[in-house]
Chains A and B, each alone.
Chain A
Amino acid sequence: MSTNILEPDATPLEQGDVVAVAATAAPNDPILRIGRWLAAVTALICLAPIPLVLAVATTRVWQQGFWAGGFTLEWLANGWQRIAPNFAFSLRIAVLVLIIDLLIGLPAAWLIARRRFPGRRALQALSTVPIAIPGIALALGLILAYPTWKAGGWLLIAGHVLYTLPFMLGALTPTLGRRDLIELEAVAATLGASFPARLLTVTLPQIRTSLLAATIMVVTLSLGEFNVSFFLYTVMDTPLPVELYSGYITMRLEVAAATTVWFLALVVPAAIALERLGGAKVGQA
């Protein structure tokens, strides 16, 4: 419903006069209320396992119930000892993957965003293919194509790069295509800045938020990736998610839960940072 708000001393309206009217959105939209409830229920379902895992990891004998036999930090200490080497290994892989993603992703995103060339759309589409292909298929494809790479661990890195690169491109391409960024670079050019100078003094500072978001995303995805890692890892070095899986198969539940708590403690802050940077902001700045 709209309302006309007229000044008390305004000229009376006559036939043929034109007035501006405005309508305000209803504050208690029922669809909005249902949406809020659905969001709350979904969040509850997703978050409920976390306190449960924490409870299992701090209970002396879980089979007997919540904190049966007393509260303990022993399993957490034991779990950390168990996964620390795997975490260090996964972190090394994630950093290497990030460096490769940046070296390939930044120029590729720039080309896709700024240049019109034959095959540009095909390249853009091709870059998203790894997201659609199941990790198992991706891993098997890599093993068949490059069997000798597996022993050195390079196949694991290649798998992670293929899996994470689309996310890097997805974060950087829209940002680099921003009209205002292109205009800032144009101003810098007229002020005497060469291409490398523009890249260092304007482009990179302007896309820092997207770059940071992409960095956190790639590292988080690589740390938590299971499907590709499971097929491509070597017995010499086991990635963290594979070790977690192994823990649930072979160890008592309390230790497995403790390793999960550590995994969450390592990954969740990164996910929160990503959210703080603003999923919506990825592509803007």
Chain B
Amino acid sequence: MSMSRTEATSSSRAAQRRADRRGQADGEAASIEFRDLTFTYPGTTTPAVNGISFDVSASSVVALVGPSGCGKSTMLRLVAGLLDPTGGQLLIDGNDATHIRPEHRHIGWVPQSYALFDHLDVTGNISFGLRMRKVPADQRAERVREVLELCRITELAGRSVGDLSGGQRQRVAIARALATKPRLLLLDEPLAALDPQLRRTLRSELARLLRASGVTSLLVTHDQTEALAMADRVAVLQRGTLEQFGSPEQLWNTPANPFVAEFVGSATVVEGTHLGNGVVQVAPGLEVLADGQLEGVRRVQLALRNTDLIVDPDGVPFEVQSREFIGESWLATGELETGAFVTLATDATARPGDTVKIAARPGVQVTVVESE
């Protein structure tokens, strides 16, 4: 059973004091170590976070991705100290921070709603943490000016937060979190509240900002594109457990299991038969070249991406069951003879109910997820 806050030992209080001193002394980026971290919400039996372990190095940007309810926001709240773990350990810079109160952790948290204080103006919001840490007024003003510049929102200084657009609110929230020079920056779906056009623009701006600040950042997103674009490392979660932790390239090229391949790699996992020399048959007449050593392997699971198949008059029949317009082309989904559903890019002529012929794109090597 975990130690409650009221039962916090003197050693953890000493750790709090050390954390305070470090926080006041500087804002150097911290490393994080998750050691079998577990959390179960009161009144439930299934853990929302179940025995998660991985390390985050200082100054890196790590994305936590997964579908709704996978425990990624809970993870962030555990790091922030807003929830008390029911098991495991959280180390910040090698020190036990498992039960340290949020006000003593010296972290910056940007919730999905941004949670700006609407009774304060932009400057009031940004200087809030500095006031709480009793930073002298002249240093406060200087630091506010610095983060306004860093976040490129100097012109918003005196504005009421009620007058800000979604993108401006996001930057003010990040500026507020960065003002105290936190050791960790926690961002919960920072782009989710923005419209799609703005999201794309602000994604690169946010990536720039995180690099420029040099702070260790944990970023929660349900959008794998955001995670792959912005993070040095990505943790993929499903139902409270860690499916894979690695670089975006590792996750894309060598997914640990079908879930990672489908969720992160936007792939459809299909079963196939290895015919030899890396050639895998996924349906009668539809053969693809697998990426990897398959000697002695008979059955394989492949991560088939939208770009791996093409419309080919010499290919196998494929009945279009649904389609969606993605701008430059249409994505058609249909069923192969084996019963597997695959998706590929088509032109506007292939409508639901039509049968088109498909084949593997020449030269493509398809990722192997599992083999036996």
Contact = CB atoms under 8 A, between A and B. Distances in A.
Interface residues of A: mostly helix, strand, loop or mixed?
A: helix
A192 B108 contact: no
Contact of B128 (A180, A183, A188, A208): A188
B132 A186 contact: no
A180 B119 CA distance: 14
Interface in B71-102: 80-82, 101-102
Contacts of B106: 192
B263 interface: no
Interface in A169-214: 180, 183-184, 186-194, 197, 201-202, 205-206, 208
Contacts of B103: 189-194
A187 B80 CA distance: 9
B176 interface: yes
Interface string B155-177: 00000000000000000000011
A185 to B, nearest CB: 9
A183 B114 CA distance: 9
A190 B102 contact: yes
B113 A183 contact: yes
A189 B102 contact: yes
Contacts of A183: 111, 113, 115
Contacts of B42: 116
Interface string B56-82: 000000000000000000000000111
A16 interface: yes
B190 interface: no
B29 interface: no
Given A16-B352, A16-B353, A116-B42, A190 B105 contact: yes
Interface in B121-145: 128-129, 131-133
Contact of B102 (A186, A197, A201, A205): A186
B109 interface: yes
Given A180-B115, A183-B113, A183-B115, A190 B80 contact: yes
B267 interface: no
B119 A188 contact: no
Nearest to A190: B109
B107 interface: yes
Contacts of A184: 115, 117
Contact of B119 (A189, A191, A193, A205): A205
Contacts of B353: 16
Contacts of B186: 190
A201 B103 CA distance: 14
B92 to A, nearest CB: 13
Contacts of A206: 117, 119
Given A186-B102, A186-B109, A187-B111, A193 B117 contact: no
B352 A192 contact: no
Contacts of B119: 205-206, 208
Query: Which of B82, B101, B103, B109 has most chain A Cβ within 10 Å?
Result: B103
A191 B111 contact: no
B117 A192 contact: no
Contact of A188 (B101, B108, B132): B132
Given A183-B111, A183-B113, A191 B82 contact: no
Interface string B337-354: 000000000000000110
Nearest to B129: A191
Contacts of B109: 186-187, 190
A186 B117 CA distance: 12
A206 B116 CA distance: 11
Query: Which of B107, B115, B353 has most chain A Cβ within 10 Å?
Result: B115
Contacts of A191: 103, 108, 128-129, 132, 176-177, 180
A283 to B, nearest CB: 17
A186 B111 contact: yes
Given A180-B113, A183-B111, A186-B111, A193 B81 contact: no
5 closest Cβ pairs, A-B complex: A191-B129, A192-B132, A190-B109, A205-B119, A189-B102
Interface of B: 23, 42, 80-82, 101-103, 105-109, 111, 113, 115, 117, 119, 128-129, 131-133, 176-177, 180, 186, 352-353
Given A190-B103, A190-B107, A191-B176, 19 more contacts: A183-B113, A186-B80, A186-B82, A186-B102, A187-B109, A187-B111, A188-B132, A189-B81, A190-B109, A190-B177, A191-B177, A192-B103, A192-B106, A192-B180, A194-B103, A194-B132, A201-B131, A201-B132, A206-B117
30 contacts: A16-B352, A116-B42, A180-B115, A183-B113, A184-B117, A186-B80, A186-B82, A186-B109, A187-B176, A188-B117, A190-B80, A190-B82, A190-B103, A190-B107, A190-B108, A190-B109, A191-B128, A191-B129, A191-B132, A191-B177, A191-B180, A192-B23, A192-B129, A192-B132, A192-B133, A193-B103, A193-B128, A193-B132, A201-B132, A202-B117
